[in-house]
A and B are shown apart, each in its own frame.
Chain A
Amino acid sequence: MASSAPFPSGPIRQHRGRGVAVVGADIDTDRIIPARFLKCVTFDDLARGAFADDRTELANAAAGPHPFDRDAHREASVLVVNSNFGCGSSREHAPQALMRWGIRALIGESFAEIFFGNCLALGIPCLSAEPDTVRALQEAIAADPGAELLLDLEALEVELESEFVGANRWRVHLDPGPHQMLVSGQWDATGQLLAHDGDLRATAARLPYLAGFVAG
């Protein structure tokens, strides 16, 4: 399905939404969106590609269907994953597909670097957490898919309220740079980069390879 919720904009200080857990280490961007969906010149239609092959594989399996195909997660906006999520290809189509499906934040043991940066550029926080926290969250989501997660980006805490599994609160981590960029609304880098054209000229002027190797 494709979500109709607005895309992130401005400061990202908190987010409230249901969770969906995709379990497993080293889930790469080919699995998040298979390459055939990259044959496009816009990102508009990517929601259908999110985890496409995994969803097909699990559609009729005993362990299925895939979490993204379960009615209980239809409204989910917080994706809870394990370690090294988003490794492999640099394709921004991966976070774009997740965002267009409805994901607005991720919590995981760890994230691949390029994927993390691609999410940041879209205003989607990738919060890291201890393996125990991730396991507790994944279990709570399984037990009560309707429970809402409250992400407090300023305090770096996540709270889960559920009439079935009770209330709980965990610490999450975000490096200071990305943290500040998200809560201040400065995660869209283009404007900041354009603000220093004088410095850019000065940098270019001192690069030997731009000046016949005379400088430097």
Chain B
Amino acid sequence: MSAATLYDKVWDLHRVAELPGGSTQLFIGLHLIHEVTSPQAFAALKDLGLTVRHPERTVATVDHIVPTTSQARPFADPLAEEMLATLEANCAEHAITLHGIGSGRQGIVHVIAPELGLTQPGMTVACGDSHTSTHGAFGAIAFGIGTSQVRDVLASQSLSMNKLKVRRIWVDGQLQPGVFAKDLVLHVIRTLGVKGGVGYAYEFAGPAINALSMDERMTLCNMAIEGGARCGYVNPDQTTFAYLQGRPAAPSGEAWERAVAWWSSLASGPDAVFDDEVRFDAAALAPTVTWGITPGQGIGVDEAVPTLEQTPLEERPLAEEAYRYMDLQPGTSIAGTPVDVCFIGSCTNGRLSDLQAAAAVARGRQVAPGTKAFVVPGSEQVAAAAEAEGLDQVFLAAGFEWREPGCSMCLAMNPDRLEGRQISASSSNRNFKGRQGSASGRTLLMSPAMVAAAAVTGCVTDVRELLQA
């Protein structure tokens, strides 16, 4: 074991050169692309007369713009159709693998790369999407990039980067029944703030983290960016290896043993030095819900919307803006807040275990009158696995809609969106003003189980009450 963190080890291994401006050229082991942030990058490549340096290290899928009702081509929206056709043409021209609709492997980019075994410990992973931090769940260093950087990775399989500091988020104890990784990460962001992680990578560690499944670790790392940290990661362990074994792109045979040995050597050592450390107690957490317009404006479901007096001085203008926008009264309980739309899905919470947790609440209950509820599996593989165990039937019987895979109402670049001032209970990651497609639409972020609880009661409800019933 060395004094280095996993972040240090992976960074050093991928260093190509020091650049004139003082930044580091970093090799990118896995580049993921989708239809929204890649077309301009391919166009720039063409303008510069360049080709794709390592087409076998780039993998594409389509997620943001796909409808979740009918996915028949051509799409009803000509702009969406043009974006997918452009991605298809670019991938064909540059010999890049595209997991398209109906391939059995299509889905949200941050769901499919792990389930195909593409994401592995010790890699650097980049994608033109801020939630690339998800892949850190495997002990990869993974971060979102802009389109100019997508161009750079296509051209050179590398990026100009500056090294981050590392903050260890140590979580003792165990999450209680009805409390999930989503609640933990919302609590972390609530505590450290939406800009607390700027300049840092977050290492999530401790007994509570060790006990999390890979799906839950992905939820946790996915939202590191909502706390300002461009990447978050968990040290690889037996849970990681068990998840990867047998996946299509994972090593096999003798290479598997060598891979596990190497992956094991990457974890931060017991004497690793961190730039900062913050501790949490998982056992103390309640299901957490956002009440405002940033993911940091969260409270336990048993708490009240904070008053101005309870809010630090520098956060008061934002709190006042949030009261107005959300039309929530400070000092009132968040439980009981009526909801119009319930959305289960997204790269944060669209995996099989998320659907299982939601189905456990929905089973034998009915969506409340006047409430719309729908479930969007994160990928074609998630959909197939859920259908194989009958989850689609559980949801349908309870009055939920069962949709095709895609990003859906997380960001409303497709037909799924809020209307007017509708308020949603959403398992996604952002409650920004206008995020879900209506300029006055409102979002309450929570775990999939909590969304299901809201769906069957018509209002924000502590899911633990339903699990006991």
Contact = CB atoms under 8 A, between A and B. Distances in A.
Contact of A209 (B120, B195, B199): B120
Interface string A59-102: 00000000000000000000000011001111111010000000
Given A88-B430, A117-B146, A209-B123, A193 B25 contact: yes
B39 A42 contact: yes
Contacts of B317: 24-25
Interface string A24-64: 11101011001110111111000000000110110000000
Given A110-B198, A112-B195, A207-B27, A90 B156 contact: no
Contact of A53 (B15, B258, B315, B433): B433
Contacts of A41: 39-40, 43, 82-83, 86
Interface string B306-321: 0000000011011001
B155 to A, nearest CB: 6
A113 interface: yes
Interface in A189-216: 189-190, 192-194, 196-197, 199-200, 203-204, 206-210, 212-214, 216
B79 A190 contact: no
Contacts of B39: 41-42
Contact of B17 (A39, A91, A199): A199
A213 B255 contact: yes
A166 interface: no
* Chain B interface residue number, banded: 35 or more
A193 B194 contact: no
A208 B262 contact: yes
A174 to B, nearest CB: 12
Interface stretch (A11-19, A157-165, A178-186): A178-186
A118 interface: yes
Interface in B1-56: 13-17, 19-23, 25, 27, 29, 36-37, 39-40, 43, 48, 50, 53
Interface of A: 24-26, 28, 30-31, 34-36, 38-43, 53-54, 56-57, 83-84, 87-93, 95, 110, 112-114, 117-118, 121-122, 175-178, 180-181, 184, 186-187, 189-190, 192-194, 196-197, 199-200, 203-204, 206-210, 212-214, 216
Interface of B: 13-17, 19-23, 25, 27, 29, 36-37, 39-40, 43, 48, 50, 53, 64-65, 77, 79-80, 82-83, 86, 120, 122-123, 128-130, 132, 143-149, 151-152, 155-160, 162, 194-195, 198-199, 225-226, 228, 230, 251, 255, 258-259, 261-262, 294, 296, 314-315, 317-318, 321, 411-413, 430, 432-435, 437, 439-440
18 contacts: A28-B294, A35-B412, A36-B413, A38-B64, A38-B413, A39-B65, A42-B43, A57-B440, A87-B228, A90-B132, A91-B37, A118-B147, A177-B21, A181-B21, A190-B50, A194-B50, A196-B17, A200-B158
